[in-house]
Amino acid sequence: MEQQRHQMQAEMQGEYDPITEHAEAVCIDSAEDEASSFRTRSLKRSASAMTHNETSQTAMIGVRRCHIESLDYEIPDNDIFNENWKAKTGSEALQFLISKWTMACLVGILLGFVAFMVNACVENISGVKLLSTLNFLEQDRYVVAALVLGGGNILLVLLSVCLCACLAPEASGSGIPEVKAYLNGTNAPNILSMKTLIVKVLGSIAAVSGGLYLGKEAPFVHSGACIASLLCQGGSERFNLTWKWQRVLSHDRLRRDLVTCGAAAGIAVAFRAPLGGVIFALEELASWWRSELLWLVLFTTACITVVRQVINNLCEGGKCGIFGNGGLIVFDMSEVSTNMRLMALIPALLLGIVGGILGSLFTYLSGKIMKFYSNWHRKNECVGKVLQALLVSAITSFCAFGLPWLASCKPCPSGAECPSSLPTGIYKRFTCSSGYYNDLAGLMFSTNDDVIRSLLNNNTNNEFQYSSLLIFLVSTFILTLITYGLAVPSGLFLPVIIIGATYGRLTGKFMKSYIGFDNIDEGLFAYMGAASFLGGSMRIAVSICVILLELTNNLLMLPWTMLVLLISKTVGDLFNVGVYDQIVIMKELPFLEEKPEPYMKHLTTEDVCSCPVVSLSAIERVSAIVEVLAKTNHNGFPVLETTPASPYPTLNGLILRSHLLILLREKELFFQDACDPVCYDTKSGKIDITKLMSGKGPTMSDIRLTAEEEGMFIDLRPFTNTSPYTVKEDMSLAKAFSLFRQLGLRHLCVIPRKGGPCPVVGILTRHDFMPEYILGLYPDLKISKWRRIRIRLSLFKFVRKWCC
């Protein structure tokens, strides 16, 4: 490794180095020779690393490659901030608290209305579409029915894909991976903007009504996150006039907390599962959480539940069109007989294994298809997306209309409304004669919710035929796969539940007839199947348990649900990662896992850290700052100080790019003489620096300086974070990773082991911890992938040894 690194350094020796020019300006009073020689070496070395590291600073957002920034959860520790903090009185802190909770409540209320709108629109549009198709079918006008269904679907999908492709590519997909990455500290442009929100909501309505096999649940999560983020920005800007204190505290941390609330509220409103939302947010989405956050999230989901209850009360009696059957429980299964004893372990085990295998297969195939789609996009972006979506929509409509012809008609059961007159009914006549129904049409000609309801339904053991369920399973599996990569807002929850419930019901039907599990309802098998496929594809545990509990209101199934989830997740993990994690990897979002990768123990911080260390002096010339800002894209700069006592400069702290830009705008802070420490104290007192630091900071293009101003100096010390976290250059990367990840840092200074001419040898950022970057530097470490396979192989060996 060492050899390789030195070789790389040597290769870079000839390159142009923009920073060397002002290196003199930095170490003014220090032992100049040594310092500048060090800095040159350091710059050279890291220039090579930087080239490598560029790759991990972009990611796919929607279908475009964007520049990614890290968020900074460290509270700055500079003089200005501290003074302001000390000045904060109790009542200001209280006002902050109240406004935080008000915002959390507002997130719940707003998302509640958005969700109502989406639900009402989807149910009405698709209801009208399905009803008219069925009417034409009953009149034997097959061509017209096909045209109505196919045409309606294609128009709706066209609307959705045009919105996503042209207006906001960030809104396509489920949004959960992006929200997860945001909560991990990754900021991608536009991911939580107003435009994204609007397109997400409208696109989701159109795509779901258009009959595609996708859910509206994950888009709620993304919408909730958008609403929270917008409230945070808008709120802080709007209240700037009245509430001074909020400026300092409108920090990335508060926004992170509220975005967590919004995402949790999304799940809460999608599944009418307030607890499930809280636990999903904490288990799957949030990377950092505290018990205070737990209360805030719980409050948001309580608010949204109350809003939902109010809207449902208002909508009673058909006032909102077909939208209706309010209640808290979506798929009520509480009446299902659960006389399941220990014997139920057998189907739980079986379905768990099947779910794990199918779930990982689904993840694998969806990855392949998404790659195929994105290659297509690269060649022909806008047209490609639209064509894909239209093609998939056409295939979906063809399946919906064509496949039910394959099923034979079944006689209506006695006592049920058959064929159903409402679009929500299970018994669709389709082309059957009176008194008969087509079971496959019942599955194909319904909204996702109704399909799940009829699959989970109890006491309907002979409602579906083997052939219909099998056709439905295969077609849904394929359609979901080809739909998920499209450039439309698409959730996975409902399609996954449908697939799982279908094979669960198939298994149940088989076991009841051939193995003799007579006392278990087919609906319960469907339920366990749904749990197993959720666990196998998403690899989420506790929140899925809670969500399923709240969806079905069947507490007695809980132990079996837990077992099924544990088994399917374990089986799935043997093959690949979960579907959301796969998307995070595919989109190259710089996600910091909880634990360091094993190979990080073999590396030291020095081996990977970002260089060149472009540092500034405590009292720096304006022109030097401008140059550094213009020529690098770093966001943090170490500030070095020279004292007469020591021969070498010492580290004063770290200053952020955003703060430097503000300082350059405030020309009152400039002064003529580099050796006049008095000038700062008087000057800075005049300016309310915290006010300037809030809101959107200036960019480089906003800075206009005269030649005279450029020759002046700024005292950076009061604006410097004087105690950044530091690690030594020989600390193992795994330990540095833990520090970086646990504290949610953006910059981590690497200091030399033994002291020496320069107090900072490098800066670690999020990108330096990314596997692709590290493995790019040290390809020798890549064997770890094979090792994982070896571990899997040894598991099989172990099991075999243990069994025989």
- Subset of 556-585 contacting a copy of itself (CB under 8 A): 556, 558-559, 562-563, 565-566, 569
Asked if residue 301 binds a copy of itself (CB under 8 A), the reply is yes
For the CB of residue 97, give the shortest distance to a copy of itself in the complex, in Å.
Answer: 9
The 72-111 site mask, x for binding a copy of itself (CB under 8 A), equals --xx-x----x--xx---xx-xxx--x-------------
Classify residue 75 by its DSSP letter: P
Q: Would you tell me the crossing angle of helices 217-238 and 176-183 to the nearest 10 degrees?
A: 40
Q: At 124, which helix (H) or strand (E)?
A: helix 90-138
Are 561 and 531 contacting, i.e. CB atoms less than 8 angstroms apart? Answer: yes
If the CB atoms of residues 8 and 306 are measured against a copy of itself, the closer one turns out to be 306
Give the residue, chosen from 546, 589, 622, 639, that forms a contact with a copy of itself under the rule CB under 8 A. Answer: 546
77/654 Cα distance (integer angstroms): 10
Indicate the residue among 345 and 346 with the shorter CB distance to a copy of itself: 345
- Position of tokens 């309801």? 453
- Using CB under 8 A, pick the residue from 422, 555, 574, 630 that binds a copy of itself: 555
What residues form DSSP beta bridges with 636? 656
- Name which position in 290, 368, 378, 691 contacts a copy of itself (CB under 8 A): 290
Which single residue is written with the structure tokens 């943090």?
A: 636
By CB under 8 A, the residues from 704 to 723 that bind a copy of itself are 722-723
User: What part of residues 213-252 is at the interface with a copy of itself (CB under 8 A)?
Assistant: none
**Least distance from C-beta 138 to a copy of itself, angstroms?**
39
Is residue 139 at the binding interface for a copy of itself, with CB under 8 A as the rule? no
Is the Cβ–Cβ distance between 188 and 61 less than 8 Å? yes
CB of 794 to a copy of itself, least distance (A): 4
Q: Which of the ranges 29-37, 110-118, 119-127, 790-798 carries the binding residues for a copy of itself, by CB under 8 A?
A: 790-798
* Window 172-211: contact mask with a copy of itself (x via CB under 8 A): ----------------------------------------
CB 60 within 8 A of CB 659: no
Closest CA to 214 of 548, 392, 452, 448: 448
Helices (H), 63-89: 79-87
Q: Which residues pair with 637 in a beta bridge?
A: 655
Are the beta carbons of 499 and 526 closer than 8 angstroms?
Answer: no
Give the nearest distance from C-beta 462 to a copy of itself in angstroms: 29
Give the DSSP letter string of 139-192.
TT-HHHHHHHHHHHHHHHHHHHHHIIIII-GGGSB-SHHHHHHHHTTEE-TTTT
Specify the residue, 410 or 741, whose C-beta has the smaller distance to a copy of itself: 741
Residue 679, interface with a copy of itself (CB under 8 A)? no
Length of the chain: 804
Of the candidates 20, 124, 553, 576, which one interacts with a copy of itself according to CB under 8 A?
A: 553
Tokens encoding 439: 């079971």
By CB under 8 A, the residues from 407 to 466 that bind a copy of itself are: none
CB of 585 to a copy of itself, least distance (A): 17
Q: How far is the CB of 295 from a copy of itself (least distance, A)?
A: 6
Reduce the DSSP state of residue 336 to 3 states and report it. Answer: coil
Q: Minimum distance between the CB of residue 790 and a copy of itself, rounded to whole angstroms?
A: 5
What is the enclosing helix (H) or strand (E) of 70? Answer: strand 69-70
Of the pair 406, 795, the CB lying nearest a copy of itself is at 795
| Peptide bond between residue 419 and the one before it cis (omega within 30 degrees of 0) | yes
Stretch of 10-18, 358-366, 611-619, 643-651 contacting a copy of itself, by CB under 8 A: 643-651
541 binds a copy of itself (CB under 8 A): yes
CB-based burial label for 576 (10 Å; 0-12, 13-18, 19+): middle
Residue 537 binds a copy of itself (CB under 8 A): no
Instruction: Tell me how far, at minimum, the Cβ of 345 lies from a copy of itself, in Å.
Output: 8
Strand order in 748-751's β-sheet?
Answer: 726-728, 748-751, 762-764
Q: Is 31 in the site for a copy of itself (CB under 8 A)?
A: no
Q: Which is nearer to a copy of itself, 696 or 801 (CB)?
A: 801
Longest CA span, the chain? 100
Q: For a copy of itself, how many residues bind (rule: CB under 8 A)?
A: 86
By CB under 8 A, residue 646 contacts a copy of itself: yes
Binders in 317-356 for a copy of itself, by CB under 8 A: 328-329, 334, 341-342, 345
Element (H, E) at 370: helix 345-379
Cα separation, 615 vs 19, whole angstroms: 10
Q: Say whether residue 295 binds a copy of itself (CB under 8 A).
A: yes
Q: Which stretch binds a copy of itself (CB under 8 A): 125-133, 219-227, 555-563, 616-624?
A: 555-563
Bridge partners (DSSP) of residue 410 are 437
DSSP state of 721: B
CB 521 within 8 A of CB 337: yes
610 bridge partner residues: 763
State how far the alpha carbon of 656 is from the alpha carbons of 264, 609, 719, in Å: 32, 18, 9
Nearer to a copy of itself, 37 or 135 (CB): 37
Determine how β-strand 64-67 pairs with β-strand 436-437.
Answer: unpaired
d(CA 153, CA 628): 55
The pattern of x and - marking residues 37 through 76 that bind a copy of itself according to CB under 8 A reads -------------------------------------xx-
Instruction: Check: CB of residue 710 under 8 Å from CB of residue 622.
Output: yes
Shortest Å distance, C-beta 728 to a copy of itself: 6
Q: What is the footprint of a copy of itself within residues 583-602 (CB under 8 A)?
A: 594-595, 601-602
Nearer to a copy of itself, 148 or 579 (CB): 579
Whether residue 475 contacts residue 213, with contact meaning beta carbons closer than 8 Å, is answered with: no
Backbone angles phi, psi at 21, to 5 degrees: -55, -40
Site for a copy of itself in 731-770 (CB under 8 A): 731-732, 735, 738-739, 742-743, 753-755
612 cis-preceded (ω within 30 degrees of 0): yes
Q: C-beta of 646: minimal distance to a copy of itself in Å?
A: 6
Q: What's the min distance (Å) between Cβ of 231 and a copy of itself? A: 20
488-517 binders of a copy of itself (CB under 8 A): none
Q: Contacting a copy of itself (CB under 8 A), which of 193, 635, 650, 694?
A: 650
Which is closer to a copy of itself, CB of 318 or CB of 644?
Answer: 644
Q: Which of 549, 586, 674, 703 binds a copy of itself (CB under 8 A)?
A: 549
Decide whether 449 or 581 has the Cβ nearer to a copy of itself. Answer: 581
Indicate the residue among 23 and 603 with the shorter CB distance to a copy of itself: 603
Q: Which is nearer to a copy of itself, 241 or 342 (CB)?
A: 342
Contact in structure between 340 and 560 (CB atoms under 8 Å)? yes
Q: What minimum distance in Å lies between the beta carbon of 226 and a copy of itself?
A: 24
Least separation, in Å, of the C-beta of 320 and a copy of itself?
18
632 touches a copy of itself (CB under 8 A): no
Q: Which tokens sit at 379?
A: 């060649």
Instruction: Name the CA dihedral angle for 127, 128, 132, 138, rounded to a multiple of 10 degrees.
Output: 30
278: CB partners within 8 A, 6+ apart: 264, 268, 294, 297, 298, 301
Q: Tokens 């737990």 — which residue?
A: 294
Of the two residues 419 and 572, which places its CB atom closer to a copy of itself in the complex? Answer: 572
CB of 301 to a copy of itself, least distance (A): 7
**CB of residue 284 to a copy of itself, shortest distance in Å:** 8
Backbone angles phi, psi at 472, to 5 degrees: -65, -40
